[in-house]
């Protein structure tokens, strides 16, 4: 029996989407769905949920929860990762509240910026522990990473971890459909091409019947900017740099030096930027979990329809050798020629029985590559800090971060990093 292992299986709703999809897929019947989490109560919830969906669908998969990670991984063909190290309390709170003392505000802080740096630093050691187990008990497994910060963690698993890893993010999947919905345009039959880096990939082409739709998109976006809406940062970036970016405005507000500025508070209002958005989401999710749990288990016969998540489609394509196209995060093996070879890039990939094969993109428009490189700089220095254990590289990563550098002096950045290292305590390894 082949095995699909889900690490972070206490994320019950996400497990329902990803492994519920597996239960609906004929080519994936007969697999063992191995669940692992450090929270036994949430782990058992996920096990119970999947058993119910399995019985409703008549699936021949087996569901098994593990408290031992290595046992859960043993013999796995596919490993799905959806962990969050440190959770909302204490680590997310720390990532937001200490920078506030320096006047540095954030929106999401899970990818770049000072929050993204420290989320990486506490997550990388855990991921490398996974990699060591995988090398021992399932060395040929394909690792499907859903955990942020996507670019850095996918890079570390591929390089330092030696694990065949592809990073998967929702932003590419929903980019065109949500853009067209916001602009009251019909996305039927639209052909698009997206490439860049995670959370800052670019809609390079958008056509229908050979006609470039960008002029109409930009016309409608300019009209929409006259009133408040949730995508004002992305529309502003498109107006100034020429292309639409895949990830949300609340994310992109903190990836650039232009939007969140103490000396220009009117920008927050003008671009409708939701400061402290991620902590609010965390609180809502924590408070809503009890009601959500009751709804999930209201019936012993739980149904599920296949979602748009990539994971089951990737596994199905490999098992059946019927090709499927994804937007995947992979190492830049000459794929985007004006981004560093050390970078993790997000490009179209073909999936079939030979695995995940990235496609060649070539040069991005120079202004887009330049914006990507500002984020890649911080990503690479964060990896350097994690792998060498040298504190100076944490400072370097933060000083090169566009938003942090736009707000704070080098001395303040160093002091902020020291405060965050102290506040994180044992959630971080020791740096020298």
Question: Measuring CA to CA, which residue among 246, 302, 216 is closest to residue 23?
Answer: 302
Give the C-alpha distances (Å, rounded to integers) separating 130 from 85, 142, 279, 343, 420. 13, 13, 27, 22, 25
With H, G, I as helix, E, B as strand and everything else as coil, classify residue 120: helix
Tell whether the torsion through CA atoms of 292, 81, 130 and 106 is positive or negative: negative
Strand-pair category, 211-212 with 324-331: unpaired
* Residue 415: closest CA among 431, 399, 429: 399
Cross-strand bridge partners of residue 62 = 32
> Quick check: is 424 catalytic?
no
CA separation for the pair 3, 293 (Å, rounded) = 27
d(CA 109, CA 74): 34
Residue 119: other Cβ atoms inside 10 A:
27
- Six-digit token pair at 315? 């596994």
403 is in an annotated binding site: no
- Using CB atoms within 10 Å of the CB of residue 429, give its burial: 0 to 12 exposed, 13 to 18 middle, 19+ buried: exposed
Whole-angstrom Cα distance, residue 340 to residue 362? 12
Residue 193 CA to residue 405 CA, distance in Å, equals: 32
Percent helix, strand and coil across the chain, each rounded to 5? 50, 15, 35
199 is in an annotated binding site: yes
Pick the catalytic residue from 170, 256, 393, 396. 170
Which string of DSSP letters, residue by residue, matches 173-242? HHHHHHHHHHTT---TT-EEEEEEETTEEEEEEEEETTEE-HHHHHHHHHHHTTS--TTHHHHHHHHHHS
φ, ψ of residue 311 to 5 degrees: the values are -55, -50
CA distance 408 to 415: 10
Per-residue burial over 354-383, b = 16 or more CB atoms within 10 Å of its CB, e = otherwise:
eebebeebeebeeebbebbebbbbbbbbbb
Residues placed in the known binding site for substrate? 148
Task: Please identify every residue annotated as catalytic.
Answer: 170
Residues placed in the known binding site? 148, 169, 199
């Amino acid at each position: 029996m082949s095995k699909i292992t889900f690490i972070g299986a206490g994320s019950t709703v996400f497990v329902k989407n990803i492994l519920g999809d597996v239960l609906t897929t004929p080519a994936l019947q007969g697999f063992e769905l191995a669940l692992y989490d450090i929270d036994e109560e949430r782990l058992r919830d996920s096990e119970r949920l999947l058993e119910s969906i399995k019985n409703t669908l008549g699936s021949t998969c087996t569901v098994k929860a593990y408290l031992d990670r290595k046992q859960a991984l043993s013999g796995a063909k596919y490993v799905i990762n959806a962990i969050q190290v440190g959770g909302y309390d204490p680590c997310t709170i720390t990532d937001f509240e200490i920078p506030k003392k320096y006047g540095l505000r954030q929106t999401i802080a899970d990818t770049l910026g000072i929050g993204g740096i420290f989320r990486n630093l506490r997550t990388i050691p855990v991921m490398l522990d996974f990699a060591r187990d995988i090398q021992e008990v399932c060395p040929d497994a394909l690792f499907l990473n859903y955990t942020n910060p996507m670019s850095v963690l996918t890079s570390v698993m591929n390089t330092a971890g030696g694990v065949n890893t592809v990073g998967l993010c929702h932003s590419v999947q929903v980019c065109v459909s949500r853009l067209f919905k916001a602009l009251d345009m019909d996305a039927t039959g639209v052909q698009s091409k997206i490439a860049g880096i995670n959370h800052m990939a670019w809609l390079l082409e958008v056509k229908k019947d050979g006609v470039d739709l960008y002029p109409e998109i930009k016309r409608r976006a300019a009209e929409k900017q006259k009133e408040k809406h949730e995508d004002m940062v992305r529309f502003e970036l498109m107006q100034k740099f020429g292309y639409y970016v895949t990830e949300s405005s609340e994310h992109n507000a903190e990836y650039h030096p232009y939007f969140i500025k103490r000396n220009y508070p009117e920008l927050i209002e003008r671009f409708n930027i939701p400061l402290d958005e991620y902590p609010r989401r965390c609180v809502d999710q924590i408070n809503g979990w009890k009601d959500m749990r009751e709804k999930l288990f209201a019936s012993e016969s739980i149904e599920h329809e296949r979602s748009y998540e990539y994971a089951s489609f990737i596994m199905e394509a490999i098992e059946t050798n019927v090709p499927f196209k994804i937007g995947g995060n992979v190492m830049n093996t000459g794929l985007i020629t004006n981004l560093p070879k050390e970078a993790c890039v997000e490009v179209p990939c073909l999936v079939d029985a030979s695995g995940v094969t990235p496609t060649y993109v070539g040069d991005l428009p120079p202004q887009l590559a330049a914006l990507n490189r500002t984020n890649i700089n911080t990503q690479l220095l964060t990896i350097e800090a994690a792998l060498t254990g040298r504190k100076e590289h944490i400072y370097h990563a933060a000083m090169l971060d566009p938003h942090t550098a736009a707000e704070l002096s080098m001395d303040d950045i160093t002091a902020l990093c020291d405060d965050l290292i102290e506040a994180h305590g044992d959630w971080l390894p020791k740096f020298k």
